[in-house]
């Protein structure tokens, strides 16, 4: 993952109080894969009931839209971080 995508990982770690090591995130390419990864990591924590994937996606979309000036409609589950959203590789 590049600088932009690494920033997204750091945001997610802070936002959801989880650890996302490089070995877990390095092969993630789409928003949906990242949402699923976060969901799995949350389910493995004792912090309480995990968030629904739709809630995770909504928070992620808000962050991406604000941080990278991306239109919300482009931040679909199938959107690829680099190719579709233009984040640094």
The confidence score (pLDDT) of residue 89 equals 60
pLDDT at 45: 85
Q: Number of structural domains, the chain?
A: 1
Instruction: Render pLDDT for 16-70 as a digit per residue (tens, 0 to 9).
Output: 999 999 999 999 999 999 999 999 999 888 876 678 999 999 999 999 999 999 9
pLDDT on residue 48: 66
Contact in structure between 11 and 63 (CB atoms under 8 Å): yes
70 lies in a domain? yes
Residue 79 inside a domain? The answer is no
pLDDT at 88: 83
Q: Is the pLDDT of residue 3 over 90?
A: no
Decide if 88 is inside a domain.
no
In a domain, 34, yes or no: yes
């Amino acid at each position: 993952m590049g600088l932009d995508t690494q920033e997204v990982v750091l945001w997610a770690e802070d936002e959801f109080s989880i650890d996302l090591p490089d070995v877990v995130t390095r092969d993630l390419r789409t928003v949906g894969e990242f949402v699923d990864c976060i969901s799995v990591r949350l389910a493995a924590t004792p912090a309480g009931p995990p968030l629904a994937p739709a809630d995770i996606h909504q928070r992620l979309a808000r962050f991406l839209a604000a941080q990278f000036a991306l239109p919300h409609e482009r931040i679909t589950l199938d959107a690829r971080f680099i190719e579709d959203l233009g984040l640094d590789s």
